[in-house]
Amino acid sequence: MSRYSANEIEAKWQQSWDQAETFLATRNDDKPKYYVLEMFPYPSGRIHMGHVRNYTMGDVIARYKLATGHNVLHPMGWDAFGMPAENAAMAIGGHPKDWTYSNIADMRNQMKPLGMSIDWSREFATCDPEYYGQQQALFLDMMEKGLVYRKNAIVNWDPEDMTVLANEQVEQGRGWRSGALVERRELTQWFFKISDYSDELLSALDGLDDWPAKVKLMQANWIGKSRGLQFGFERVDGGDPIEVYTTRPDTLMGASFVGISPDHPIAKHLEKNNPALAAFNIEARKGGTTEEAIETAEKLGFDTGLRVRHPLNPNWELPVWVANFILMDYGTGAIFACPAHDQRDLDFCRKYDLPVTDTFFALDDNTPVDRTAFVPPKTEKVNWVNHFAGLETATGQEAIDLTIDFAETAGWGKGVTQYRLRDWGLSRQRYWGCPIPVVHCADCGVVPENKQNLPVQLPDDVSFDMPGNPLDRHPTWRNCACPNCGNDALRETDTMDTFVDSSWYFIRFTAPRADTPTDRDEANYWMNVDQYIGGVEHAILHLLYSRFFARAMQITGHLEEKSSEPFNALFTQGMVTHEIYQTRKAGDTKARPIYHLPEEVKDGKLIATGETVEIIPSAKMSKSKKNVVDPISIIATYGADTARWFVLSDSPPERDVEWTASGAEAAYRHLNRVWNICDRVGTMDKTALGSGDDDLLRAMHKTIHDVTMGVETFGFNAAIAKLYGFTGILQKSKAGYTAQHEAIKTLAQLMAPMTPHLAEEIWAHQGGIGLIANAPWPVADPAMMVEDSVTLPIQINGKRRAEITVSKDLGKAAIETIALGEPAVIKALAGGAPKKVIVVPGRIVNVVV
RNA sequence: GCGGGCGUGAUGGAAUGGUAGACAUACCAGACUUAAAAUCUGGAGGCCGUAUGGCCGUGCGGGUUCAAGUCCCGCCGCCCGCACCA
């Protein structure tokens, strides 16, 4: 009897696939193409279980599509620019480039043993000059088409380190290194005109039938289309009117004050001669730039002293306040506040003792607003007590529409469609990113670099021993000739957001070595991505930016129109979680917990000391909590097939899966069991007859059907449950050799997408022809799946009370007769007639008494 | 604060509006063994009952339906995203 030895067979079959070039993507007009892609990884240096899960799902699809007769493209690359490389250089010295490429080499070495069906010949990293040079070419093309511009924008500024901070470098309003209070500061930065596509990006979501509804909803909310009224408040002092935008113009008679952003031009103008306001604005600009930080900060205001006239009553004057919660980026940067019908405005007015006027009441309740604002529902009628447009009762939506019409007719306002989506700020004041290929010339201004000078390469001789961007202080790199006039000029030192890198890499995979951004013919053949798989954390930004880029690349002539929505189907997988083990210093429940790796713990105790650990429920694997399991050690212990099988088996793919040692062992035991069956069948007498051949083959065909459905619908855990079931049947089967031989070969084929190495080994052992990776997917024979009889539950008043077994073809009336003859039914009827009998053939019978 | 998601046995989870708990873990019992490991077989939502069986049960409270984990309304709890992390 031979034993299952994962390490031996996995290396062997990986070599076979390499030699046969099984996974090289090839064009072949006889077959349809299929492009499956997992979101490419950041090269941190270590693969983690989340990667294993993500790539295994993609691999299941890729191998299944190969078996069902497709030309499969399944590439891999590296999202290699970004801050961690610079942080490493600052923390431990060295160069971001060396750190990144060495991490890539390490991670590739860790990934290959997983046995993924990846076409490695197409691999690239976004930090390769060959890649980012093409990205620069693309940028210049986008510039030419007016999709790029510069404007001022706000950044997190660390006043001590004199540097721009990323949101993640701001901790509780302070810089992570310096600890200084972070300020918001304006800088001239580069932007993509994604807002030109707001409506298009919103409406095209409708066509994305194979995207999760929740992702489409999140994107729609992010784009945030709204219809409202824009109008000006006349200033009492005769200055330019203050333009406001509101989505609830119907509450205009409840206006209490006009609020402007601390960054509003009027606020900035007034602060010059008003030290108290200047101080307020400085204070308001402290804190992070995230929407969350701004929204959750204490609401503060400052009365500017300006007064404006209410548009419906020129004698009604309203004060103008600067408020820290008003964003300059949204609408006009100015609002009117209606405290009675907006909680934030109400809180603000109560705090500063501003008037509160009700304009709407619920139909059955006209209690004036006190501490809780009454927001008139858009679809329910309410009383409009302070109405001005003609209706006494209206739904919120009717009131809004009517007000807009009213204002337009009267000529003091206009209906405006607004989007929450802002233009994409792509400037980063950092070294390790794609240089923005423009030059600043004293005479010619901002000039694009000549395409023949691309790539504008990052200089290697930089250091990270002082704060700020090394490109800014580089002695020679900044100085260059103006591409236009040839005079001395300065290079742009901002680099691109790494989201730019990831917005078109999937298109580059179709022709990764082309000397233009795309090879139109290759892109046309392989695009779109048929199935994209990744984490839901990318549901908004990465996917929205990629959708924008696909349109931009069409406009710049790099992509066909059919690819303006580049991802046909999207799947968002859940995380891999693990329990957290912690101890605290004896007797000190307030001491900082000490975390322990799972391998240091057995049966709830530390292996080393026997100390009992506290078990915190499962959470996302993270180094800081030490609740991580290293795929490399799992592969060393059990093999890649076990890891792959387990990450698919225990939870539905879109949900989190909890890694448990016992679950991994169970997966390993199961693969051993399958191998043992294979071994046993291999030793059977080839002419042996047995009993139950039909039962085995019927189960086999049902399993083919169920597993195929499972793979097609991302029901991997359900498919695996069916495979467990069938394995159990095969294990106990007394069928003859021919049936068992067919069953084990089919089992191997059905398992091949998940556990490809074991499947190849079984295939070879059972005399299969060629590689199982190339064998056509088994097809279920419907005739072989039919059971002759079916068991129906009998319900009485919706509760199951009995069951009957009848022929599958039996008609409704006959089923009803049999059901009514059941003792439980007779007892329940107690001689009376049933009120109603519902018969759902093949499903259920419900008798209502 | 805003937006999104999720709540089912001890645990992970299954269930086109149609037998709730498939499959797996942990647990218990049995077989094999001198013993252990490995392997195999069986049990099991809770409560009551020797048992046939009965009652309860999918976060909480209502509703629709012959029938609700699933659909609707209102709560509670947890998780994720919020534009310079990738």
Task: Tell me what pLDDT residue A642 has.
Answer: 94
The answer to whether the beta carbons of residues A434 and A128 sit under 8 Å apart is: no
User: Distance between CA A337 and CA A248 in Å, rounded?
Assistant: 10
Which nucleotide has the shortest C1'-to-CA distance from A794? B19
The answer to whether the beta carbons of residues A201 and A424 sit under 8 Å apart is: no
- How do beta strands A438-441 and A445-448 pair? antiparallel
Nearest C-alpha neighbor of A202 from the set A219, A215, A180: A219
Percent of chain A residues past pLDDT 90, beyond the cut? 56
Instruction: Give me the interface pTM, i.e. the ipTM.
Output: 0.91
The answer on pLDDT for A586 being more than 70 is no
CA of A67 to C1' of B19 (A): 37
Query: Mean of the pLDDT values across residues A324-345?
Result: 87
Q: Is the CB of A540 under 7 A from strand B?
A: yes
Q: What is the pLDDT of residues A763-781, one digit of tens each?
A: 999 999 999 999 999 999 8
Question: Which nucleotides of strand B are protein-proximal, with an atom < 7 A from a CB?
Answer: 1-6, 11-16, 18-20, 22-26, 38-41, 54-55, 66-68, 79-86
Nearest C-alpha neighbor of A45 from the set A116, A119, A101: A101
The answer on pLDDT for A807 being more than 70 is yes
Vertex A727, ends A723 and A732: CA angle to 5°? 155
Query: Mean of the pLDDT values across residues A84-113?
Result: 94
Task: Tell me what pLDDT residue A591 has.
Answer: 65
What is the CB neighbour count within 10 angstroms for residue A786? 11
Q: What is the pLDDT of residues A14-36, one digit of tens each?
A: 999 999 999 999 999 899 999 99
Which chain A residues 120-159 have CB under 7 A to strand B?
Answer: 155-156
Tokens 């999937």 sit on residue? A506
User: Distance between CA A641 and CA A646 in Å, rounded?
Assistant: 8
Phi, psi of A273 (to 5 degrees): -110, 15
Q: What is the pLDDT of residues A719-778, one digit of tens each?
A: 999 999 999 999 988 899 999 999 999 999 999 999 999 999 999 999 999 999 999 999
What is the CB neighbour count within 10 angstroms for residue A303? 15
In which order are the strands placed within the sheet that holds A381-384? A360-362, A381-384, A393-395
Which chain A residues 457-516 have CB under 7 A to strand B?
Answer: 497-499
The residues with which A567 forms a beta bridge, in sequence order, are A529
Q: Is the CB of A378 under 7 A from strand B?
A: no
Q: Biggest alpha carbon distance in chain A?
A: 107
- Band of the pLDDT at A630, cuts 50, 70, 90? confident
- Band of the pLDDT at A279, cuts 50, 70, 90? very high
Which chain A residues 628-667 have CB under 7 A to strand B?
Answer: 649-652, 655-658, 660, 662-663, 665-666
Task: Tell me what pLDDT residue A330 has.
Answer: 83
Task: Tell me what pLDDT residue A172 has.
Answer: 80
Query: Mean of the pLDDT values across residues A811-838?
Result: 84
Q: What is the pLDDT of residues A229-256, one digit of tens each?
A: 999 999 999 889 999 999 889 999 999 9
Nearest C-alpha neighbor of A340 from the set A320, A312, A360, A322: A360
- Band of the pLDDT at A590, cuts 50, 70, 90? low
Query: Mean of the pLDDT values across residues A687-699?
Result: 88
Q: What is the pLDDT of residues A202-235, one digit of tens each?
A: 999 989 988 988 899 889 989 999 889 999 999 9
pLDDT averaged over chain A? 90
CA of A695 to C1' of B49 (A): 39
Q: What is the pLDDT of residues A158-200, one digit of tens each?
A: 888 888 888 888 888 888 888 888 888 889 999 999 999 999 9
